[in-house]
Structure 1
Amino acid sequence: MRKEKLILKSLTMNNFATFVNQEINFSEGFNVIVGETGSGKSLILDALQLIFGTRADKKIIRKNEEFATVEAVFMCSHPEIKAYFNDLGHPFSEDEILIKRIITSEGSSKAYLNFQQCSLQTLTTISKRYVDLVGQFDNQKLLSEDYQMALLDDYSEKSQETLEFQTLYKNLSLLESQLIELVEMNKTKSQRKDYLEFQISELEKVNPSAQEEESLIAKKSQILDHQKKAESFTEANYILSESNNSILTLINKFDLQTSRYDLLSNEESELLADAKELLSDLSFSISKKLDFEHDDEELQEIIEKLDSYQKLKRKFNVETQELESIYNNFKEEHLLLENSDIEVKKLTEKINSVKELCWTKANALHSSRKEFSKKLSIELTKKVRKLRMSGATIKVELEETKTLSKNGISKISFNAETNSGEGFFKVKEIASGGELSRILLSLRQILSKADTVSVFLFDEIDTGIGGETAISIGKALEEVSTASQVIAITHLPQIAKFSKTLIDVSKKEEKNRTYSYTSEVDTREREQYIRDMAQL
C-alpha cells in the first residue's frame, strides 16, 4: 500500500437511473471506463460524486422505484488514515471503509460512513483530503492558492518547516488577540475596576464555598432538631414539676395527707421519699437542658448567612460552585486591571519576540520556495510539452508580501503561457478546458507521490484531442497511477490501452425500459476490444 493512501475497491448502484443493480470493481492502478455515448459512463461519475458528499436529486431514482442507493468500499491499512477516521468518530476495521448514500422518492437523503449515519460535510471533508476530480473546467483542489503552496512545500520537502512556522504564527495571532482585548479593557479600566470592586466586596462578605453552604445547612438542621427536643423537654418538665397539678405537687399533697393520719408504714414512707427525691433529680436534670439561648443566636447567624447565599445565587443566576468561580474570576480580572499596564508591556515584548522569529522563518521559507518554484516551473513545462502543448510554458511565481500570513510572506501564482509570445495568465483563467486538464495532469505527475490525494477521477480529459496527444495523456495517466489510484472516463483507444483495468459500459432496451450494465474487459479480449474502439 502506498504511503497514506486509500483505494476505491468497489462501487454498487441500485435503482440509480439506468443501473438497476450493478457492482463495479476497481483495481489499485489505472482504471479506464469506456462505452458509447449515452451508455451510462457519466452516471458512474455522478454516483461517485454522491459518495463524496454532493447533494442528491431524487430525479436520479429509477422510474417507478421508491429509492436509490449508492455504496462504495475503500481499502486502507495505513495507521495515519485509521487515526484520521477515528478522530472523525467513524472508525473502521478489517481495512475496509464503507460509504453509503440512500435517496428516497420523497426527496430525502441519508449518508452513512462505516455503518454510522453522518453528515454530507463529513463526506466532503474526506473527499477534499483523499479524492480529486479533473474534468473540463472542473477541479476541486489544485486551483486553490493555499493548496498550491502546500504542494510546492511538499515538492521542496519543506512541509515540516511550514508546519513549524504555522504553529508559531498561530501562537502569534493568539497573543495579538490577547493584546487587543487587554488594550480594549484598559479603555474602560476605571469604570470596570469600580464595578469589580463592588461585586468583589459583596461576594467577599460571603466568601462563597459550596462546602461551607452544605455545612451551614447541616448545622441549621441540627439546631432545629435540638430546639424541637428542647420544646419536648419543656413540656415534660411542666408536667413533672412546673404546673399546679404537676406530678411532684400532687405527690407532695399525697405525702401531707398520709402523714397527717399516719396512713403509711415506715417502709412505704421510705419508698415515697425515694420517689420524691428521684423525681426532683429528674426535674433538675431536665431543667439544665432547657437553656437553648445560645442555639437561637447561632441559628440566626446561620439563617442570615444562608440568606446571603440565596441572594447572590439569584443575582447571578448560578449555583454556589459557580459563585466560587465568579468570585475568583472577578478577583483575577481586578488583579489584571491593577497590573494591566505591566501586562501590556510584557505581552508586547513577547509578541515582538515571536514576530521576529516568525519573520526569520518566513524569510527562510520564502527563499527556499523561490528556489524550488523555478525547478518546479521547469519540470512542469517539460511535462506539459510532452502532452502536446509544444509552445506552452509554466511559471510558478512567488511574490513577497509585506505582511505575515499563515503562508509566511509568500503569495503563490501558477501561471501559464499556452502559446509562445501570447503572455502568461493564471492557470485557473485559461479558457481551454483541454489545456487546463493537461496542465493539471502534469502537476499530478510530479506531485502525486507527495500529495495526500489517493483517488484521481478524470472526466473529459480527452476532449478535443487525438493521435499522439492522446497517447501522451495515456502515458501520463499511467504514471500518476503508480502513486495514486486513477479512474478515467474516455472514448479514446490511445488512452484505454494504458489501463490496468478496462471497464465497459453498455446499455440495452428490454420491455421498453433501458438498462445499463458494466463488465470488466477480459485480458485476452483487450487488444481486440481496443482495436474495435479505434474503428468506431
Structure 2
Amino acid sequence: MLKELSIKNFAIIEEVSVSFSDGLTVLTGETGAGKSIIIDAVHLLAGGRGSQEFIRHGAKKAELEGLFFIQNAQHPVFQKLQDVGIEADDDSVILRRDINDHGKSVCRVNGKLVTIAILREIGGSLIDIHGQHESQELMDERLHISLLDQFAGSKIHRAKESYNGLYQRYIKLKKELASVSDNEQQIAQRIDLYQYQINEIDAMQLIENEDEELQMERKKFQNYHKTFERISAAYEALNGESKGLDWIGNAMSELEDIASFDESYKEQAELVSNSFYSLQELSYQLKNEMDESEFDEERLNVIEERLAAIQSLKRKYGNSIEEILLYRQKIGDELDALVNRDERIQQRQKALDQVEKDLEVESKELTLIRKKAAKKLSEAIVVQLRELFMEKATFEVIFKSTNVFDKNGKDDVSFYMSTNVGEPAKPISKIASGGELSRMMLALKGIFSKHQGITSIIFDEVDTGVSGRVAQAIAEKIANISRSSQVLCITHLPQVAAMADQQLLIEKQVMGERTMTKLTAVTGKDRVQELSRMMSGAEITSLTLEHASELLSIAEQRKKISHV
C-alpha cells in the first residue's frame, strides 16, 4: 500500500505530506481544488511522462516521494528490484522523482538512481491508475489472455511451464534451421571465403609464440656487430697481456703461498682460485663464440619475411597467433556445417517436426484449461455486472485459434460484451457509454484485483455519469475492491465518499498573492458536513445534514455486512 506521499512545488501545491490508510481512501473537494493534481503526482511518481510545466511557478524543481509498504514477501516488485541491483527492505519501497526547470527528471528507488524506464516498471507493479476515458490494461485486447490465465490460477501455470519449455526449444530449432537454410548463393560465397581463409592460414603453419621468438632472433642479428665488438673487448680484458686473468692468477699464487703456512688464509685462497678458473672457462667460451660467430644476412631476410607474413594475417584474423588459430578453428567448424548442411537441415527439421507435435498437444491442453476458466470468468463477471445494475449485460470470452505457436500457445483471446438485449456482443474496448465503461471496468477490476498483485489502485472519477442506485452499487463495488488492494479514489459521489475508510478534503486557498492546495483529513462531524456539501452544493441545510448522516450510517452497516 501507499503509506506516505510527499509533494513539494508541484502545480499549485507548495508542500503537502499525507499518510494513507488501508482500504478505501477518497479524495473530495470542489471542482478545480486540485484533486487530480494529487493523482498526477502519483502518476509521475510511478514513471509517467513529466515536464517543467508541473513545477510550481517560481520554484526550481518539483519533488515527489512515496513510501510503499508491501506485506506479501513474494510480491513481484522484489524480483524487479533484485534484477536491477537495488536492495530492498523487508517490507518497504521508496520511490522519489525530482523534475527540474529544464524538464529533466532525477529518479531514485530506495535511494539508488534509476532511469525513467526502471521507475516505470517498478511503479507499474505497485500502482494501477484508472481514469474514466483512459485505455487501461483491462481494455487492451492484447493482454486479455494473460488476465484469463491469472484467473485460471495454478493449473494453467503448471501447464504453461511445460509448454514454455517446449516453446523455447521450438524457437531455437527454427533459428538454427533458418541459419542453415540461407540463400544458396550466399552459402556458396561463404564456403569459398572460408576455404580461402583456411588455406591462407594453414599455408603459414603457424606455431604459438613463434612471432615473439622470431622478433628476439631478429634483434640479435640487428645487433650482431655491436655484440661481436663487446665480446672481443670482454675477452681481451680477461686474456690480454697483463690483463684480468694474469692479475687474478698472481693474486691466487700469493694467497696459496700464504695459506701453506697460515691456514686462516685458506678460504680466501680457495675463493680467488675458484674465481680464476671460472673466469678462465668463461674466456674460453667467449673465444669459442667469436670463432663460431657469423652474420647470416639470408637468415635475417627469412625472419623479416616471416614476420611480415604473420603481421598480414594479424590484420585480417586476430591480434595474435593464438587468436588467428582460434579463428581458423571457428571458420573450420562453420565450413563443415555449411558443407554438410543438407544433413543438418534434415536433422533439425526432424527434431522441429517432433517438437511441433508435442507443442500441439500442450497447446490443446492450454486451450482446454482456458475455456473452462473462461466459462467461470464469464459467470463471475455477469454477477458483478448485475450487482452494478447491468442486468441485461452479457459477457463472453472469445477464442480465435491461430495457426502459429507463440508464448501463449495457439489461442487469441478477447473479452466481448453486450449491454442491451438484442445487440450482438462487441469487444469491450468498443463500448462507448462512459457510465457503462466505468461499471464494466469496475466489474473486471473486482475480479482481477485479487490476481494482479497491485499494491495500490487509483480511480480518478470513474463514477462520473452515474447516479441513484447505480452510484450506490459503484460505491459498494469500489469498497469491495479495497479489501484486496488499497484503493485511492477521487469522487464527486457522496455514496462513494460515505463508504470510505479514510476521507481527505482538498481545498484551494489564496495566501498573499499565491494560490495553493490544502489537504485535510475529514472525520466526525466534518465528514457529515462534507457529504452534505457534495449532495446539495453550496447551500447546506438541516435536511442535507440529516441525509448525509443517514448515508454514513447506511454505509457503515453495508461495510459490516460485507465483511461478515
Fold agreement, TM-score > 0.5: yes
| Correspondence for 1:56 among 26, 50, 54 | 50
In the alignment, which residue of structure 2 is the partner of 1:517? 518
| Correspondence for 2:64 among 36, 61, 70 | 70
State the alpha-carbon separation in 1 of the partners of residues 176 and 470 from structure 2.
58
In the alignment, which residue of structure 1 is the partner of 2:451? 450
After superposition, what is the alpha-carbon deviation per residue over 1:115-153, rounded to whole angstroms, capped at 9, x for unaligned? 222222222222443432221121331122342111111
Q: Which moved more, 1:425-434 or 1:229-238?
A: 229-238
After superposition, what is the alpha-carbon deviation per residue over 1:64-83, rounded to whole angstroms, capped at 9, x for unaligned? 22221111122235255323
State the alpha-carbon separation in 1 of the partners of residues 372 and 351 from structure 2.
32
Is the 2:51–2:104 Cα contact (8 Å) retained in structure 1?
Answer: no
Query: Counterpart amino acid of 2:286?
Result: I
In the alignment, which residue of structure 2 is the partner of 1:508? 509
Query: Counterpart amino acid of 2:383?
Result: K
| Correspondence for 1:42 among 36, 45, 58 | 36
Task: Note the C-alpha offset of 1:523.
Answer: 5.5
In the alignment, which residue of structure 1 is the partner of 2:103? 107
Q: Structure 1's 403 and 236: CA in aligned 2 closer, same or farther, altered over 3 A?
A: closer
Aligned residues: 497
In the alignment, which residue of structure 2 is the partner of 1:381? 382
Is the 1:208–1:323 Cα contact (8 Å) retained in structure 2?
Answer: no
State the alpha-carbon separation in 1 of the partners of residues 51 and 87 from structure 2.
29
State the alpha-carbon separation in 2 of the partners of residues 504 and 227 from structure 1.
99
Query: Counterpart amino acid of 1:447?
Result: F
Is the 1:168–1:358 Cα contact (8 Å) retained in structure 2?
Answer: yes
3-state SS in 1 of match to 2:442: helix
State the alpha-carbon separation in 2 of the partners of residues 388 and 167 from structure 1.
45
State the alpha-carbon separation in 1 of the partners of residues 3 and 226 from structure 2.
80
TM-score of the aligned structures, taking structure 2 as reference length: 0.80
State the alpha-carbon separation in 2 of the partners of residues 452 and 208 from structure 1.
62
Task: Note the C-alpha offset of 1:239.
Answer: 9.1
State the alpha-carbon separation in 1 of the partners of residues 362 and 283 from structure 2.
92
Task: Note the C-alpha offset of 1:426.
Answer: 0.5
Matches within 5 A, 1:317-336: 318-336=319-337
After superposition, what is the alpha-carbon deviation per residue over 1:221-247, rounded to whole angstroms, capped at 9, x for unaligned? 678788854442245568999xxxx96
3-state SS in 2 of match to 1:398: strand
Query: Counterpart amino acid of 2:338?
Result: L
In the alignment, which residue of structure 1 is the partner of 2:197? 199
State the alpha-carbon separation in 2 of the partners of residues 209 and 519 from structure 1.
82
After superposition, what is the alpha-carbon deviation per residue over 1:195-215, rounded to whole angstroms, capped at 9, x for unaligned? 111101222244667655455
In the alignment, which residue of structure 1 is the partner of 2:287? 287
Query: Counterpart amino acid of 1:33?
Result: L
Task: Note the C-alpha offset of 1:366.
Answer: 0.9
Is the 1:128–1:140 Cα contact (8 Å) retained in structure 2?
Answer: no
Query: Counterpart amino acid of 1:196?
Result: Y
Query: Counterpart amino acid of 2:15?
Result: N
Task: Note the C-alpha offset of 1:42.
Answer: 0.5
Query: Counterpart amino acid of 1:28?
Result: D
Is the 1:8–1:73 Cα contact (8 Å) retained in structure 2?
Answer: yes
Q: Which moved more, 1:121-130 or 1:418-427?
A: 121-130
State the alpha-carbon separation in 2 of the partners of residues 161 and 298 from structure 1.
73
Task: Note the C-alpha offset of 1:363.
Answer: 1.0
In the alignment, which residue of structure 1 is the partner of 2:186? 188
Q: Which moved more, 1:189-198 or 1:375-384?
A: 189-198
Q: Percent identity?
A: 30
After superposition, what is the alpha-carbon deviation per residue over 1:377-428, rounded to whole angstroms, capped at 9, x for unaligned? 1211110121122221111111222222222111111111011112211101
Is the 1:132–1:139 Cα contact (8 Å) retained in structure 2?
Answer: no
Q: Structure 1's 303 and 508: CA in aligned 2 closer, same or farther, altered over 3 A?
A: same
In the alignment, which residue of structure 1 is the partner of 2:548? none
| Correspondence for 2:162 among 161, 164, 177 | 164
Task: Note the C-alpha offset of 1:499.
Answer: 1.7
Unmatched runs of 5 consecutive residues or more in structure 1: 1-6, 249-278
Task: Note the C-alpha offset of 1:518.
Answer: 0.9
What RMSD in Å do the two structures reach over aligned CA positions?
3.1
Task: Note the C-alpha offset of 1:339.
Answer: 1.8
In the alignment, which residue of structure 1 is the partner of 2:408? 407
Task: Note the C-alpha offset of 1:98.
Answer: 1.9
Query: Counterpart amino acid of 2:151?
Result: Y
State the alpha-carbon separation in 2 of the partners of residues 18 and 145 from structure 1.
37
3-state SS in 2 of match to 1:199: helix
State the alpha-carbon separation in 2 of the partners of residues 101 and 463 from structure 1.
31
Asked if 1:92 corresponds to 2:118, the answer is no
In the alignment, which residue of structure 2 is the partner of 1:25? 19
State the alpha-carbon separation in 2 of the partners of residues 219 and 29 from structure 1.
84
State the alpha-carbon separation in 2 of the partners of residues 479 and 164 from structure 1.
36
Q: Which moved more, 1:90-99 or 1:452-461?
A: 90-99
Is the 2:434–2:465 Cα contact (8 Å) retained in structure 1?
Answer: no
3-state SS in 1 of match to 2:451: coil
Q: Structure 1's 114 and 322: CA in aligned 2 closer, same or farther, altered over 3 A?
A: farther
